[in-house]
Amino acid sequence: MKLTTKGRYAVTAMLDLALHCEQGPVALADIAERQAISLSYLEQLFGRLRKRGLVSSTRGPGGGYALNAEAGAISVSAVIDAVDESVDATSCGGASSCQGSIRCLTHDLWTDLSQQIQGFLDSISLQDLVDRRGIQAISAQRDEQVLKRLDSLANSAQ
């Protein structure tokens, strides 16, 4: 079982959005800068997140994305599901055809693991992550790094 970049980036971007949404809509370019994620990739992910109703978008100057619900009401599993990511630990995708057309000996074990992972991710909201002091510290460091980079660019342009 492996959570791909798609799921990891979606959760990271949604957490960044939750951390910065108090200032109004958040531009994807800002998330891309802070989290070192390709802007075009974020656009694809947020298209899926918007279709699933997790975020809303505002166009124009000062536009961007906002959470469509309180951060406490959005689970990590909802974000992963929204981008069509699977946390299935079975080798057959849950189809019980692990070895050709037959079920393998350990199918039930991997199915149980998948259910445990799903339950764990269901139990964690974006707000739970926002409330972690370590995450707040990392977010503040990234914000500071971006500001320093922007100041450096502004000074070199003068």
* Tens-place pLDDT, residues 23-47: 899 999 999 999 999 999 999 999 9
Task: Give 88-138 pLDDT, tens digit per residue.
Answer: 888 777 777 777 778 888 888 999 999 999 999 999 999 999 999 899 889
Q: What is the pLDDT of residue 90?
A: 82
What is the Cα–Cα distance from 158 to 153, expressed in whole angstroms? 9
Judge whether residue 2 has pLDDT over 90: no
- pTM for this one? 0.87
The answer to whether the beta carbons of residues 70 and 127 sit under 8 Å apart is: yes
Among the ranges given (2-6, 13-17, 132-136), the one the predictor scored with the smallest mean pLDDT: 2-6
Judge whether residue 1 has pLDDT over 60: no
The DSSP H or E segment spanning 67 is: strand 64-67
Average of per-residue pLDDT values in the chain = 90
**What is the sign of the dihedral through the CA atoms of 92, 93, 95 and 96?**
positive
Indicate the DSSP class of residue 1.
-
